[in-house]
Structure 1
Amino acid sequence: MAQRALHGVNLTGWLTLEAWVTPTLFADSGALDESALIGSIGRDEYRRRLEAHRSGFVRQADFNQIAARGFNAVRLPVPWYVFGTDGPRPGPFVGCLAQVDDAFDWADEIGLKIVLDLAITPGAEGAEADLVRNHTDFAHYRNDMLDVVRGLCKRYGSRVAFAGIEVADTPRIQTRRGFSVSEGVALHQLRNYYRDAYDIVREEAGADPLFVIPDGGRPGAWNRFMAHDRYENVLIDCHLFHYNDRVDRVGPSGIRELVERSKASLRAVEKSGLPAMVGKWSGSLPFADTITTPEGRIALERIYISEQLATFKPCAAWFFQTWKTEGRLAGWDARVSLSSFERRMLA
């Protein structure tokens, strides 16, 4: 794969709502996700808040700033209801095709690449899964997902900015322990979906765009999958967050422990025979240290980010989580976490 490595940021919380990114959208509702928000405030107020948010949260100026910081790509999560009433039944949710069109116009103008991410988590339970009708069985909505993939590739496959598409976000894969099976999507079902999605992407967009499959938190489960000659330009995405990890040590030694875990995941991905993409990572540390000063904490996060950047250097792509948050969250907001890094470290 001769393409230049993609180094960029996620645009999380723009087209799909995330309470941790924009808490004011959820204020006084008691809701923590988009589905619950609709139930709490009603469809009319939901639509009003959503339209105001989407028109103002990410603008052309953000794309210009992203490029100016040295990034060459963005990873853009789009909901399954992106096409609104022209796609799978959207229920109370509002499509966002106009905003995706804007993103491609802005990216084309300044030479940024876009990796579209179909923001569905197959096999997920609970509130997230409520965003997908018939979510209790992946077989019931996989064809809807394929229809959305086809529509996105047909619409954007010829755009200069179109780098590729990730055909799910973070699947939850079934695991077996003795005679019990966890909730989630069976691995063979997910693999068959990936194969079908690949054929659609190639049919609609050709052989050049990247086809990205998420590892579902199982980096070692993809040995030689899609690695033979029939498949071209395939990446496997692993999300390397460690903010919930248990770490025995703090400070630089704790950071080394976290980075070693990332390296272990990437070594497992290597066995798949596919290039790795780190679709989401952050500078958020999982350990609290009451002794370290705020300045010292910032220094530790900088060391952590630097070590991660070095670890991800061989990867075909990486995307920091995320470009912006309402509260400029340290460790998560690229405008804060990566502001002191030189362009050459990010490009």
Structure 2
Amino acid sequence: MELGTVHGVNLCGWLVLESWVTPSLFASTGAFDEEGLRQAVGDERYAQLVDQHRERFITEQDFRGIAARGYNAVRLPVPWTAFTEKADGTPSTLDYVDQAFDWAELAGIKVLLDVVVDPDGAAKPGEQVEYIATTSRFRPRVIGASTSLAERYAGRSAFLGIEPLNEPVVQKRTGLTMSAGVPVHVLRNFYRDCYDAIRAAAGSSPVVVLSCAGRPDLWNGFMASSHYRNVWLDLHLYHYGQSVDGAGPAGARKLVERSRRDIARARRSGLPVIVGEWSSALPVSAATLTPEGLSALERVYAAAQIEAFRSTTGWFFQTWKTEAKLSAWDARVALSSFERGMFD
């Protein structure tokens, strides 16, 4: 099926648990992430909770709803351990990914797989990517996970492509100090190796999506040779944590202009640019508005963001579904008043 410009939603909190998406799973445990939940409730109860959640949180009805609203793709976070089969006969992660492809094909939408890595709790908080990209223990396993996923779904008509690493953090120099993160040259080499492995396993059709690692200015000319085909650069555009000189619509317009500038920087890479994650969440200062005023401003902001994204290959809103129907993050709420034609 032809895709054209991507207008999609993320499926966060389904196969990779996130407490902000489904807080009820974490209630009364003191945990804020998936590994913390496992430690808090024990392996047996954790497995029960995860299986029950995966059966109920996203269903075929959600895929039908996504297509009915005019979206043509989903971005599906998948844990890098998806190929670690369960021995007890209960569904594995891959069973649910298989099901997602079945539902996507019935609904007529595409699937972008996004590999999420947590290296067995071996890394300190905030250091996961450094372990992945720089140590011999994890690097081959991450590349292998992406390659195996690409090979498994290469023949599926719904398969758009794969993003081999979600939100890496690169080093940044400030004066004489260097921040924590992956050296840029190491991440570039990692991406090249991922590309070659995915192409060898799945051919040239799947898109290989590379996170810009929060630095859209670092990729000029990267993978510019004819050896590399069907590669996109992923830019995440959140502004809720930023300060802005202005309130109301004027402040929102300034945030949208920041998006435009970041997109322009990313496009100088020469690669097609995709906005893999964005929301209509505004800076904390907007909380001084009434609930009705905030809701109206979020919609104005979302519409302006979508307009700014017209120079890209497309976007994925963050996310399709949250347990509490968070107004700025749940597409069923944030984009509920948008007509299908606004995505064209």
> Cα offset for 1:8?
0.3
C-alpha deviation, 1:227, in angstroms: 2.0
Query: Are the counterparts in 2 of residues 322 and 332 from structure 1 also a CA contact under 8 Å?
Result: yes
TM superposition score normalised by structure 1 = 0.92
Question: Residues 279-298 of structure 1 correspond to what in structure 2 (within 5 A)?
Answer: 279-289=276-286, 292-298=289-295
Matched, 1:300 2:297: yes
2:324 corresponding residue in structure 1: 327
Give the letter aligned to residue 292 of structure 1.
L
1:23-62 matches, cutoff 5 A: 23-62=23-62
Q: Could you tell me which of 96, 99, 104 is aligned with 2:101? A: 104
Within 5 Å, give how 1:85-234 maps onto structure 2.
Answer: 85=85, 95-120=92-117, 126-127=124-125, 137-234=134-231
Deviation at 1:246, TM superposition (A): 1.0
Q: Secondary structure at the match of 1:148?
A: helix
Superposition RMSD in Å: 2.3
- Paired with 1:189 and 1:292, the residues of 2 have a C-alpha distance of 45
Contact 1:120–1:170 (Cα < 8 Å) also in 2: no
Describe the superposition over 1:5-46 as per-residue Cα deviations: whole angstroms up to 9, x where unpaired: 111000000000000000000011101011111111111111
Contact map agreement 1:9 1:71 (CA 8 A) in 2: yes
1:271-298 Cα deviation digits (max 9, x unpaired) = 1111110000001111334653222211
* Count of residues in Structure 1 that have an aligned counterpart in Structure 2: 338
Q: Is the 8 A contact 2:132 2:139 kept in 1?
A: no
User: What does residue 84 of structure 1 align with?
Assistant: 84
Output one character per residue of 1:200-251: Cα deviation in whole Å (capped at 9) or x when no partner: 1211221121110000001000010012211111110010011111112110
Q: Secondary structure at the match of 1:163?
A: strand
For structure 2, which runs of at least 5 residues remain unmatched after alignment?
A: none
Which letter maps to 2:7? H
Q: How far does residue 184 in structure 1 lie from its aligned partner after superposition?
A: 1.3
User: How far off its partner does 1:311 sit?
Assistant: 0.4
Corresponding residue number in structure 1 for 2:8: 8
What secondary structure, in the 3-state scheme, does the structure 2 residue paired with 1:17 have? coil
| Sequence identity (%) | 47
- 8 Å Cα contact 1:11-1:74 kept in structure 2: yes
Distance in 2 between residues matched to 1:256 and 1:177, nearest whole Å: 29
Cα contact 2:101–2:111 (8 A) shared by 1: yes
